[in-house]
Amino acid sequence: MHKLSLRVRHCCARSSRFLAFPLVSTSDSDYVLRERIRTSIKAHVSTFFNGISHFKSLRTTHTMDPTIPHRRSAHLQQRQSSKRVGMDANRGLELTTAAPSTRMNEKDLLRGLNGRLAGFIDKVHRLEQHNQLLEREIEEIRGRAQSVSCLEEQYGPELRRMRQLVRDITLQKHQIEIEHCNLEEELSGLRKRHEKEAKDRSDAERSVAVIKREIDDAYQAKLQLDKKVKVLVEELHCLKKSHDVEVSGMLEHIQSVDEGYRAREFGSPGVTAALRDIRMQLESHVGRDAQRVEETFTHQFAKLTEAAESKRECLRASQHEINDYRRQLQARDIELESAKGTREALEKQLREAEDRHKHDLLHYQDTIKQLENELINCKFDMSGYLREYQDLLNVKMALDVEILSYRKLLCGEEARLSSVTDSPVSLPYIYHQSPVYTLPSINRPGGPHRRPEPQYKFVEEIITETTREIILSEFEDPEETLVMPKLQCSKRGNKEENDHSKDSGQEDIKQKRDSQQDNLESHGSEGKEESSRIVENGQDVSEKVSEEIEKDLNDASTHLKDNLKEKHTSSDR
């Protein structure tokens, strides 16, 4: 009985722990499932306690006076009255058929059973009070602690926030990419413009160099022409001087010849005419030569002046062009400096954007790793909780079977005590092995090891151990057997009166016992079916929740990976 009380305490503790254990999800189906488990456990415990109270009522019928009224319900009083009639009939038969020694043994056995039942009932009451305290503590702990079933509620806002953050980052990334493309287009346009301006500048520089060379050549030609003009002017002066000298010499010679012929003129008049003709011819030749020289000089001077004027105009135009090109070159230099400044600013913005994208990339990789680690931890925790859940279900099923077995034992003991025959009648009952459900255990890498799995015994072993303890306790109570004859003699008169009513109530007791056995078997089968349905529903719910969480995290990780790939491609560009 002590072991039975320990088993009952263990059953109550595990049932309270099971009722306090939250499921993985908080949906309506899981709440209904949990309520069904709670009601089934409470029903089994209440039926077990009803059986114990019924056995206590049998004890009170043997120890107390039936004439004294007690505070019981009408249903219990009817059952006790019917059983009392049956007991009276059985006692009457026992007086006529059984020997005094068997009566003394039965009294001793009843006294020992009554004492053990009283202690067991007290322990049950204490256990009920302890269970109430434990339920209060569990409710307080449940109100303070965060339940594991709130995974979806806990990580749902975080996942939605992360998705919204990913969307915002993708929008920002697209805007930055558009701005980057626009800046690249502007930069390419500026580069083309810069190349064009550089080409124009190089062309202008080449043309300026050519013009400079032409100006130098023109200046050299001008210098040469000036030198030639000076030489020609000097030659002209020399020729004029020589001509004047020749003319003066010729005139002097003519005058001298004139004077000589004048003296002879009187004798030769034709000579003077010939001299006059020669003089006229010489003057005509000299005039023609001077005119020719003057014409050539004027012609060459006009050519030189025209060439100098044309070269001067070309030089003036080239100087104007050089000034224009210089102004354009200065404007291009200013534009080039501004383009270099904008290019440096754009390159700086590009580097800042790349650094920011790298930082965001590292941050998102860290968040992905953290989410993956949290997912792994959640999976491990879910597997542990499911394993504990299966252990509790196995314990519940074992305790249900144990309760049924003890109820069978109590019914058999009640039948044996009610029949009061020479040899106890053992009711045939086939005990089936309770099924044990196990889940594959997954050890977390680098984490603390789980506690070892509890070793559960089969119902047959528990029953054999309890029966062995009962037999040993019966053999260890010799003192009580010595006191029983005195009590048996005092109560023999009451037995003789009550044994007459045993035969009439024995058939009713057998019918009730058969109906109780059928009810117990039906309750056991219903409990097994309900526990199997609970196991299947719990597994389905846990699998659905884990699949949904894993799907959401996989979607988030793939979305982040795609964004990271796009960022890599944009940074490479």
Domain stops at, among 290, 317, 340: 340
In order of 98, 104, 197, 408, the CA distances from 502 in angstroms are: 14, 19, 129, 22
Q: Is residue 276 part of a domain?
A: yes
Residue 89: HSE in the Cβ half-sphere, 13 Å Cα cutoff? 16
Query: Do 489 and 391 have their domain in common?
Result: yes
Query: Do 36 and 153 have their domain in common?
Result: yes
Whole-number pLDDT of residue 25: 40
Instruction: Give me the number of domains the chain comprises.
Output: 2
Give the tens place of pLDDT for each residue, 210-266: 888 888 888 888 888 888 888 888 888 888 887 788 778 777 777 776 666 555 554
Q: Is residue 384 part of a domain?
A: yes
What is the pLDDT averaged over residues 156-167? 83
Q: Is residue 312 part of a domain?
A: yes
Is the backbone of residue 446 left (phi > 0), alpha (psi -120 to 50) or beta? left
Residue 481 scores a pLDDT above 50: no
The answer for residues whose C-beta is within 8 angstroms of residue 542's C-beta and 6 or more apart is 24, 382, 386
Residue 306: HSE in the Cβ half-sphere, 13 Å Cα cutoff? 6
Looking at the whole model, is its pTM more than 0.95?
A: no
Structure tokens at 497: 């009166």
Residue 561 scores a pLDDT above 50: yes
* Secondary structure (DSSP) of 270-320: HHHHHHHHHHHHHHHHHHHHHHHHHHHHHHHHHHHHHHHHHHHHHHHHHHH
Q: Is residue 346 part of a domain?
A: no
* Secondary structure (DSSP) of 503-570: HHHHHHHHHHHHHHHHHHHHHHHHHHHHHHHHHHHHHHHHHHHHHHHHHHHHHHHHHHHHHHHHHHHH
275 versus 460: the higher-pLDDT residue is 275
Query: Do 501 and 403 have their domain in common?
Result: yes
* Start-to-end Cα distance in the chain: 83
Residue 93 scores a pLDDT above 70: no
Residue 354 scores a pLDDT above 50: yes
Whole-number pLDDT of residue 66: 40
Query: Do 196 and 63 have their domain in common?
Result: no
Whole-number pLDDT of residue 251: 77
Structure tokens at 260: 């000589």
Give the tens place of pLDDT for each residue, 176-213: 888 888 888 888 888 888 888 888 888 888 888 888 88
Number of CB atoms found within 10 A of residue 46's CB: 10
Query: Do 420 and 497 have their domain in common?
Result: yes
536 versus 201: the higher-pLDDT residue is 201
Whole-number pLDDT of residue 495: 46
Q: Is residue 168 part of a domain?
A: no
Query: Do 324 and 384 have their domain in common?
Result: no
Query: Do 417 and 559 have their domain in common?
Result: yes
Number of CB atoms found within 10 A of residue 37's CB: 23
Q: Which H or E run contains 40?
A: helix 28-63
292 versus 461: the higher-pLDDT residue is 292
Domain that holds residue 94: 2-162+373-572
Q: Is residue 171 part of a domain?
A: no
Give the model's confidence band at 136: pLDDT under 50 very low, under 70 low, under 90 confident, else very high. Answer: confident
Query: Do 291 and 394 have their domain in common?
Result: no
Query: Do 136 and 31 have their domain in common?
Result: yes
Give the tens place of pLDDT for each residue, 508-529: 555 655 665 565 455 445 544 6
Read off the DSSP letter of residue 267. T
Residue 325 scores a pLDDT above 50: yes
CB 318 within 8 A of CB 209: no
Whole-number pLDDT of residue 556: 66
What is the pLDDT averaged over residues 472-494? 46
Q: Is residue 416 part of a domain?
A: yes
The answer for residues whose C-beta is within 8 angstroms of residue 337's C-beta and 6 or more apart is none
Query: Do 494 and 461 have their domain in common?
Result: yes
Query: Do 524 and 377 have their domain in common?
Result: yes
Whose CA is closest to 50, among 30, 75, 84? 75
What is the pLDDT averaged over residues 475-490? 44
How big is the chain, counted in residues? 573
Whole-number pLDDT of residue 145: 62
- With a pLDDT cut of 70, the percent of the chain lying above it is 52
Long-range CB contacts (within 8 A, 24+) of 188-197: 190/339, 190/342, 190/343, 193/335, 193/339, 194/336, 194/339, 197/332, 197/335, 197/336
The answer for residues whose C-beta is within 8 angstroms of residue 188's C-beta and 6 or more apart is none
CB 400 within 8 A of CB 7: no
What is the pLDDT averaged over residues 79-105? 54
Q: Is residue 482 part of a domain?
A: yes
Per-residue three-class SS string for 353-370: HHHHHHHHHHHHHHHHHH
Read off the DSSP letter of residue 64. S
What is the pLDDT averaged over residues 406-427? 71
Q: Cβ-count burial of 200 within 10 angstroms (0-12 exposed, 13-18 middle, 19+ buried)? A: middle
Give the model's confidence band at 537: pLDDT under 50 very low, under 70 low, under 90 confident, else very high. Answer: low
Residue 506 scores a pLDDT above 60: no
CB 499 within 8 A of CB 96: yes
Whole-number pLDDT of residue 183: 87
Is the backbone of residue 407 left (phi > 0), alpha (psi -120 to 50) or beta? alpha
What is the pLDDT averaged over residues 449-462? 48
In order of 217, 232, 470, the CA distances from 223 in angstroms are: 10, 14, 148
Query: Do 241 and 383 have their domain in common?
Result: no
What is the pLDDT averaged over residues 155-159? 77
Give the tens place of pLDDT for each residue, 22-66: 444 444 555 555 566 666 666 655 666 565 555 445 444 444 444
Number of CB atoms found within 10 A of residue 469's CB: 14
Whole-number pLDDT of residue 379: 86
- Residues 340-367: b if buried by 16+ CB within 10 A, e if exposed: eeebeebeeeeeebeeebeebbeebeeb
**Residue-averaged pLDDT of the chain:** 68
